[in-house]
Amino acid sequence: MEKGGVQSLDRAFQLLELLCKSRGGLTIHQLSEATGLHKSTVHRLLASMADWGYVRRDLDSAVYYPGMRVCEMSEYIQENLDVVGLARGPMERLSRWSPSPVTMFLIEHPDGLVLFDTGCHPKAMEERWDEGNRLRTPYTYEKENLLVNQLEGLGYKPDDVDYVVLSHLHEDHAGGLELFPHAQIFVNDTELAQTLKLYALNGPMGGYIRKDIEAWLKLPLKWNTIPDDEKTYELLDGITILNFGPGHTFGMMGLQVETQNHGTFILASDAVNTKVNYGPPIQYPGLAYDTIGYAKTIRRIQLLEKKTHAKVLFGHDQEQVERLQPYPRARFD
């Protein structure tokens, strides 16, 4: 009984958090899809929270919203909140900068070399990134860890790469794209369209780098875009592009790779930043364009992991990267 009660409490908090983060409320169907819970379970939990005033239901649209009780509780919390005391620990940790690895993967296939993501531009901190990006996410590296040098250590040069699959177009994933004008480049259609729209509107770019985009536009890059409704795309035998759609950004993609001796890998990139985000329970990252999409993507990856007995490689998990041996070039046949 105790275990079931705790589980119900976890689920109720997950539903309440999704409702609080939504901009227009959510239906039972949407909440069920986002959490993987059965609709009857969602309905039961919402009914209990509605009795306490924590959620409310619009009778005409059947959309659920956070209730006024949430606002009342937040007032009580604010009255007794020691802001300085709460902030001191996190701010001290932030001042020391937590390590966040930038990962790229090269797949050697009989029909061509496939590169998943291209990392940061080598001159990101000197001239490529604007001041805001340099302050928010300062980038450091050892020279031998640069993409070009990593390829050389494996016996390749950029022109040898036949395919580049981009998880998304942020600075730490597409910064080296201009090195591959001869490769076929694959990206989510909405991701490319919205990135170029941000550039054209000349406004805030967030994790997208204006000078990166300008470099792409100067080259005859061989773009291949995958629409959101095409959920998978078989690139080569044993290599499948997983088209996740909106989540961390406008349009995320991953890669499913079948190896001869080490089973299946799912390269999740920032669709799942770390094991902590993967859950359970799902933890949202600091930057998520679409939290519902982010949760749905994690649920999809979890089902695929179970079905294929895959190993999931996250986008920025320092502990996971350190376990990949030999570091920084881990090879799996």
Q: What is the CATH number of domain 2-79?
A: 1.10.10.10
Cα–Cα distance measured from residue 102 to residue 172, given in angstroms and rounded to the nearest whole number = 7
Residue 245: enclosing H or E segment and its boundaries?
strand 239-245
Please give the pLDDT value at position 3.
46
Cα–Cα distance measured from residue 328 to residue 106, given in angstroms and rounded to the nearest whole number = 12
Please give the pLDDT value at position 93.
62
Cα torsion through 18, 319, 131, 269, rounded to 10: -60
Please give the pLDDT value at position 196.
97
Give the Cβ contact number of residue 78 at 10 Å: 9
Domain residue ranges of the chain, discontinuous segments joined by +: 2-79, 105-323
Helices 291-308 + 28-35 axis angle, to 10: 50
Per-residue pLDDT tens digits of the chain, which is 333 residues long: 344 567 888 999 999 999 999 988 999 999 999 999 999 999 999 999 999 999 999 988 999 999 999 988 888 888 887 776 776 666 566 556 677 899 999 999 999 999 999 999 999 999 999 988 888 888 888 888 899 999 999 999 999 999 999 999 999 999 999 999 999 999 999 999 999 999 999 988 999 999 999 999 999 999 999 999 999 999 999 999 999 999 999 999 999 999 988 899 999 999 999 999 999 999 988 888 999 999 999 999 999 999 999 999 999 999 998 888 544 455 665
The answer, as to whether pTM is greater than 0.95, is no
Please give the pLDDT value at position 1.
34
Q: What is the CATH number of domain 105-323?
A: 3.60.15.10
Give the Cβ contact number of residue 54 at 10 Å: 21
Q: What's at 136, amino acid-wise? A: R
